[in-house]
A = this chain, B = another copy of it.
Amino acid sequence: MADGTPGQAEDVQAMRHSLAHIMASAVQRLWPEVKFGVGPAVENGFYYDIDLGGTKLSEDDFAKIEAEMRKVIEADEPFERFEKPIDEAIAWARESGQPYKEELLNDLKRAGTTAAKELDAAELGTIAPASGDKAAESKVENVSFYRSGDFTDLCRGPHVASTGKVRAFKLLRVSGAYWRGDEKKAQLQRLYGVAFATEDELKKHLELLEEARRRDHRRLGQDLDLFVFSDLVGSGLPLFTPRGTVLRDELLGFSEELQRAGGFQKVSIPHITKQVLYERSGHWDKFGEELFLVKSQETSDQFVLKPMNCPHHIQIYASRPRSYRDLPIRYMESTVQYRDEKKGELNGLARVRAITIDDAHVFCRLDQIEEEFTVIMNMVKDMYSVLDMKFHARLSFRDDSDKYLGDAEVWEKAQQTLEAVAKKLELDYYVETGEAAFYGPKIDVMVTDALGRQWQCATEQLDFVQPQRFGLAYVDSDDEEQTPVMIHKALLGSFERFLAVYIEHTAGRFPVWLAPEQIRLLTVNQEPATVNFAAGIAAQARELGLRLTIDDSNESVGKKIRTAELMKVPYTVVIGEKEIAGSELVPRIRKDMAVQDGGGSGTGAGIAGVVVDQFLKTVAHEAKSRVHKTSLHG
């Protein structure tokens, strides 16, 4: 595109990068004392880290900055590239009062070309050596600059031809950012905007952001009373309320049901172990820093909180002699494991320190791999079909490097088997070479949510290494000792992370089988006749295993309906004289569950009357069969 119109992905990124310059230029006009950090293009937009001394920016400043940016754009100044020797560049930074740029240039000079390339892109931002590309270890001689109008910046480029060529953009937020990501260094302000090739794309993106905000699982977790955090307990350690525990039990119970049908047997292990277990398994060397260390005051044993369950399950396998006739042995357990995540990385349920995995381990013979992967992948299909979420299967295979343990021929055959299973089950799959774990190939399940975002959830991994490390054995039909292979599998993966995804996927509108509250009765008054009638229905519901509540508070029916809607209860039923007299209910159905979803703006259509018994049995059946739509009709 000779005219510089952004269209392709790289052109859009150039445009975003140009917008970072334009924003910096505008900020400099408004606050001439500004000192600049780095300002790269990022996914969907751009940012610039700036130091305004004591001046704190807020969203109130965005209109002013955007107006100034439009002036720069209207001026349609060309982006001009030029070079300076590194020492002149350093002098330029010093003279322009840009200490952060000066620091970067000095580092660049010290580090040389190759090292500079290896530095983190976001840290180095847009600066880069303009020369020295040929000689890997050569010194940096020149660096490149871009100038547009009265604004000049150290920059690697590329840019659009002129400031007038940028398209749809919007400033979104300002937040604190430590210089070079180091909390011991100065705190700058990160001014962040989004930018797209068309206004339409920008609008769609902003709508998506707004929808994601509305669906934010942290917000819904609070509004729907699903989980809480406590300062006294600690960050990253969620406490599940009764409502959240329903989701937990139902989701993990469903996983367990699928596994039981697949021949898995439940086991139960403690949450701590002597450190030596992970030294033996090799996890200590790899993940030692992520482990919570446990100190006994009574013994000198060094314990850790388990960050995974395989070595424990291996101990159960190893507790008896096993024969080829016993295999496959399949252990499952939904259990909490602990990882010592950095505080700054914790995020609601999406990243926690107490992680519940619907974990399982198969110990089997090499000739049983195909059958086992088939059984497990069928569970995955069943699970995500019921959850109404699409997924791709990523087959992570080895490359030719020597970082993989185990026999290459066995690997090759196993990879062929995994791909054969993916074909046989007609999975939407792709192969990613070089993505295998060092101990074996795997299938990662990438789930797509309602906002089109992808999440890795289920995983099934072959393991040729741990059985050997622990000396596991079985006696084959010739009475010879053999080493089994292991398969690690999870259907939901981290339950907490899955729940975060699923809350946002459904916007908290859980299907009947998962809804913490399936039916809410709203009494029109507090008369004994009304309250008793409701209590009678509640008793019937309990018999059927339904979760039914009664709102017999002293509020108006209208208010009660709105409250129930906010809690996203699937069925709400007003209980008044007519219902008591006729013993027929007129349930209001949460909109997303109605079969004929007219797309109207109503939040719950009423249907024709149905006798109490029939209504409750229908809902119980819907819960049992885990459907998303109701079979009740208007």
Name the residue in A245, A270, A353 with the highest tally of chain B Cβ atoms < 10 Å from its Cβ: A270
Min CB distance, A449 to chain B, in Å? 24
Asked whether, in the complex, the Cβ of A301 is within 8 Å of the Cβ of B232, the reply is no
Asked whether, in the complex, the Cβ of A293 is within 8 Å of the Cβ of B289, the reply is no
For A316, the chain B residues whose CB sits under 8 A away are: 228, 239, 241
For A353, the chain B residues whose CB sits under 8 A away are: 270, 272
Min CB distance, A259 to chain B, in Å? 12
Asked whether, in the complex, the Cβ of B268 is within 8 Å of the Cβ of A232, the reply is no
Min CB distance, A337 to chain B, in Å? 10
A269 touches B (CB below 8 Å): yes
Asked whether, in the complex, the Cβ of B268 is within 8 Å of the Cβ of A245, the reply is yes
For A515, the chain B residues whose CB sits under 8 A away are: none
For A230, the chain B residues whose CB sits under 8 A away are: 277, 315, 318-319
8 Å CB contact of A343 from B239, B245, B246, B299: B299
A177 to B338, CA, bound (A): 40
- Whether A340 contacts B298 in the complex (CB less than 8 A), given A303-B292, A315-B230, comes out as yes
A244 touches B (CB below 8 Å): yes
Contact with B along A212-244 (1 / 0, CB 8 A): 000000000000010010101110011111101
Asked whether, in the complex, the Cβ of A270 is within 8 Å of the Cβ of B232, the reply is no
Asked whether, in the complex, the Cβ of A239 is within 8 Å of the Cβ of B272, the reply is no
8 Å CB contact of A249 from B233, B246, B266, B354: B266
For A325, the chain B residues whose CB sits under 8 A away are: 553
Asked whether, in the complex, the Cβ of B271 is within 8 Å of the Cβ of A232, the reply is no
- Whether A292 contacts B274 in the complex (CB less than 8 A), given A232-B280, A331-B242, comes out as no
A541 to B331, CA, bound (A): 21
- Identify the closest chain B residue to A277 (Cβ): B232
8 Å CB contact of A233 from B233, B241, B270: B270
Interface positions of A from 265 to 288, Cβ below 8 Å from B: 265-274, 276-277, 280
For A292, the chain B residues whose CB sits under 8 A away are: 272, 294-297, 303
A171 touches B (CB below 8 Å): no
The A interface, classified by DSSP as helix, strand, loop or mixed, is: mixed
For A331, the chain B residues whose CB sits under 8 A away are: 242
A296 to B241, CA, bound (A): 26
Interface positions of A from 311 to 348, Cβ below 8 Å from B: 311-312, 315-316, 318-320, 325, 331, 336, 338, 340-343
Asked whether, in the complex, the Cβ of B305 is within 8 Å of the Cβ of A272, the reply is yes
A311 to B331, CA, bound (A): 33
8 Å CB contact of A319 from B228, B245, B249, B343: B228
A291 touches B (CB below 8 Å): yes
A298 to B343, CA, bound (A): 8
Min CB distance, A555 to chain B, in Å? 12
Contact with B along A10-51 (1 / 0, CB 8 A): 000000000000000000000000000000000000000000
For A249, the chain B residues whose CB sits under 8 A away are: 266
- Identify the closest chain B residue to A355 (Cβ): B270
Min CB distance, A195 to chain B, in Å? 35
For A621, the chain B residues whose CB sits under 8 A away are: none
A298 to B241, CA, bound (A): 28
Asked whether, in the complex, the Cβ of A311 is within 8 Å of the Cβ of B234, the reply is no
How many copies are assembled? 2
A170 touches B (CB below 8 Å): no
A294 to B237, CA, bound (A): 14
Asked whether, in the complex, the Cβ of A267 is within 8 Å of the Cβ of B294, the reply is no
Min CB distance, A433 to chain B, in Å? 33
For A301, the chain B residues whose CB sits under 8 A away are: 234
Asked whether, in the complex, the Cβ of B336 is within 8 Å of the Cβ of A271, the reply is yes
Min CB distance, A276 to chain B, in Å? 6
A248 touches B (CB below 8 Å): yes
For A240, the chain B residues whose CB sits under 8 A away are: 267-269
A538 to B249, CA, bound (A): 28
For A267, the chain B residues whose CB sits under 8 A away are: 239-242, 245
- Identify the closest chain B residue to A330 (Cβ): B242
For A297, the chain B residues whose CB sits under 8 A away are: 289-293, 340
8 Å CB contact of A315 from B233, B248, B265: B233
Min CB distance, A47 to chain B, in Å? 26
A547 to B457, CA, bound (A): 31
Min CB distance, A4 to chain B, in Å? 47
For A274, the chain B residues whose CB sits under 8 A away are: 232-234
8 Å CB contact of A340 from B244, B289, B296: B296
- Whether A244 contacts B268 in the complex (CB less than 8 A), given A237-B273, A292-B295, A295-B293, comes out as yes
For A238, the chain B residues whose CB sits under 8 A away are: 270
- Whether A266 contacts B237 in the complex (CB less than 8 A), given A294-B305, A297-B340, A336-B271, comes out as no
A486 to B248, CA, bound (A): 26
- Identify the closest chain B residue to A274 (Cβ): B234
- Identify the closest chain B residue to A302 (Cβ): B234
For A336, the chain B residues whose CB sits under 8 A away are: 270-271
- Whether A270 contacts B354 in the complex (CB less than 8 A), given A289-B297, A343-B299, comes out as yes
Name the residue in A276, A294, A295, A340 with the highest tally of chain B Cβ atoms < 10 Å from its Cβ: A294
Asked whether, in the complex, the Cβ of A294 is within 8 Å of the Cβ of B294, the reply is yes
A338 to B312, CA, bound (A): 17
For A273, the chain B residues whose CB sits under 8 A away are: 232-234, 237
Asked whether, in the complex, the Cβ of A354 is within 8 Å of the Cβ of B272, the reply is yes
What residues make up the interface of A, taking CB atoms closer than 8 Å to B? 225, 228, 230, 232-234, 237-242, 244-246, 248-249, 265-274, 276-277, 280, 289-299, 301, 303, 305, 311-312, 315-316, 318-320, 325, 331, 336, 338, 340-343, 353-354, 553
12 A-B contacts, Cβ less than 8 Å apart?
Answer: A228-B319, A232-B273, A232-B311, A234-B273, A238-B270, A239-B312, A239-B319, A240-B269, A272-B353, A293-B297, A299-B342, A325-B553
5 closest residue pairs by CB, A with B: A242-B265, A270-B354, A240-B268, A230-B315, A228-B319
| 5 extra A-B contacts, CB within 8 A, seeds A239-B267, A292-B295 | A239-B316, A272-B292, A272-B353, A292-B296, A294-B294
